[in-house]
Amino acid sequence: GGGGFIPDLVEGEFLTVWRLNREFAESDDIPGVRIPNASFPGVVSTLPGPAQLADMLQREQQLANAGGQVSLPSPIGASPPAICGPNGSAADECLRTIPPREHGGNMDIRYLQAGVSIYLPCFIEGCGLTIGDLHYAQGDGEVSGTAIEMSANIWVTTELVTDGPDLSFGPHYEGMSRVLDIPSRRFYAVTGIPIKNTGEVPPDMNYLNSD
């Protein structure tokens, strides 16, 4: 971990090595503690098309120009080197993968467990599905960069949905309520990427201009 929302209250980092099995994780560094298996992929994404990529690069540059906190394309340590590295063919167009975007990405949603369906937009031929950053367990969001990381093999079923939901502001997902521990049989959830045009006030923030 380290960093996150309260770096002024959390000093340094604490690295723990866990022994994992199908049921729980244990560590000699934290004796007497068992973390139940609630594994899921932190990254689920499709690839943006040229138009979406241009929009993302433009708005993130505008945010940086305004003094906002954003990670702009950087060739240092970027992968694949032939495309995103110092001499890459598109080094200035490679989005950093820390933040999620409209096409998914590093969402770190702990409810994307086995049996859950996720709806992702498809912007290019073949969609470019990507899955990774597997977590054995995590809180509600990878707060302060804290999760039990692991390697894994994952099996998924894909379907091209032509009349699916509006995914303009991010992916949707649904599944059995057991992953949420709520008193209903199923759940349906949406994500929300706060995207707006310059000078525009979203309807849900109109109250900020009220007396």
Q: Delimit the domains of the chain by residue range.
A: 40-48+97-200, 49-69+76-94
| 157-208: pLDDT as tens digits | 999 999 999 998 899 999 998 878 788 899 999 998 878 777 787 777 777 7
Burial tier of 14 (Cβ tally within 10 Å: 0-12, 13-18, 19+): exposed
Q: Report residue 19's pLDDT band, with 50, 70 and 90 as the boundaries.
A: very high
50 dihedral zone (left: phi>0; alpha: psi -120 to 50; beta): alpha
| 68-95: pLDDT as tens digits | 889 999 999 999 999 999 999 999 999 9
Q: pTM of the predicted model, to two decimals?
A: 0.86
C-beta separation of 120 from 129 below 8 A? yes
Q: Closest Cα partner for 108 from 80, 154, 59, 144?
A: 144
| 94-133: pLDDT as tens digits | 999 989 999 999 999 999 999 999 999 999 999 999 999 9
C-beta separation of 119 from 125 below 8 A? no
Average pLDDT in the chain: 90
